[in-house]
Amino acid sequence: MIELFADNGQKKDKEKDLFIEELYKEIGQLKIELDWLKKNLNLSVEVKVLLIEHQNKMIPVGRQAQLLGIARSTVYYEPRVDLYSLELMHLIDEEYTKTPFYGSRRIKDILKR
């Protein structure tokens, strides 16, 4: 009977050791994340997106975004500008450069021509 209790005690010790090992892993991960975060505070969203390290294997992109206080979708966002809008902005800029004293109505009338 003594052997039965000895095995049970060894199982508990192994479970305890595994639990402690997991805790140390988590503490290490949190220390890495904290060190990473300390160097990236008080910045604009655009700069925070640039700070995301896609190749970092220790901290996933989603976690980095969470630590920086931005949405993960912000990291992957790519603005869309169609060719028509781009050409229109170019024409407005060209006209405004020539005649900066024109207002929006006059520039609109010129673009209609």
What is the token pair recorded at 62? 């989603």
Is it the case that residue 2 has pLDDT exceeding 60?
no
Rounded to 5 degrees, what are φ and ψ at 14?
A: -65, -45
Is it the case that residue 6 has pLDDT exceeding 60?
no
Give the pLDDT confidence score for residue 36 in this predicted structure.
Answer: 75
Can you tell me the distance from the alpha carbon of 77 to that of 88, in angstroms, rounded to the nearest whole number?
24
Give the pLDDT confidence score for residue 25 in this predicted structure.
Answer: 92
Instruction: Flag the least confident range among 4-8, 46-50, 85-89, 98-102.
Output: 4-8
Q: Where are the domains of the chain?
A: 2-76, 83-112
- Report pLDDT digits (tens) over 8-47: 667 788 888 899 999 999 999 888 887 777 666 778 889 9
